[in-house]
């Protein structure tokens, strides 16, 4: 029952929260509990959800199959995506040729007679 953060064996009891004993590490000042929450999803289920997402299943479908909330699945995937580094490509583009490019900044301005909402006649 050592501290999960620093591994120290010097701890004291620090109350009971939701029928679970809490402990306080004297070295790193960390509050912790020993047993895992009963409603916590095991890491294997989270790994399976990530694999299912990479295979193309949606969040709701994964939630139905694993019997968890689709919002929980979204959170797991988002957290896993933030820990992955984006690929960096070293090739730089030297010359770009663009022909007949039209760009609108803001919105396209239409003349009064070409406005779709106004009838002519």
Domain that holds residue 58: 43-82
Q: Is residue 97 part of a domain?
A: no
Q: How far apart are CA 19 and CA 67, in angstroms?
A: 26
Shared domain check, 30 and 9: yes
* Segment-wise mean pLDDT, segments of 10 residues, the chain, 121 residues: 86 89 92 76 93 95 95 95 86 79 67 56 51
Q: Is residue 26 part of a domain?
A: yes
Q: Is residue 117 part of a domain?
A: no
Q: Is residue 48 part of a domain?
A: yes
21, 102, 105, 108, 112 from 117: Cα distances, Å: 68, 24, 22, 15, 10
Using the 8-state DSSP alphabet, how is residue 69 labeled?
Answer: -
The answer to whether residues 72 and 63 touch, using CB atoms and an 8 Å cutoff, is yes
Q: Is residue 59 part of a domain?
A: yes
Crossing angle of helices 70-82/43-54, nearest 10°? 80
Q: Is residue 113 part of a domain?
A: no
Shared domain check, 50 and 69: yes
């Amino acid at each position: 029952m050592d501290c999960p953060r620093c591994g120290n064996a010097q701890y004291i009891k620090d109350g009971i929260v939701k029928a679970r004993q809490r402990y306080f590490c004297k070295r790193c000042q960390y509050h912790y509990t020993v047993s895992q929450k009963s409603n916590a999803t095991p890491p294997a289920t989270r790994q399976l959800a990530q694999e299912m997402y990479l295979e193309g299943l949606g969040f709701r479908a994964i939630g139905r199959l694993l019997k968890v909330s689709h919002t929980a699945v979204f959170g797991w995937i988002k957290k896993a995506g933030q820990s992955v580094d984006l690929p960096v490509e070293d090739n730089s583009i030297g010359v770009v040729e663009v022909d007949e490019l039209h760009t609108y900044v803001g919105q396209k301005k239409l003349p009064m007679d070409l406005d779709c909402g106004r009838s002519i006649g």
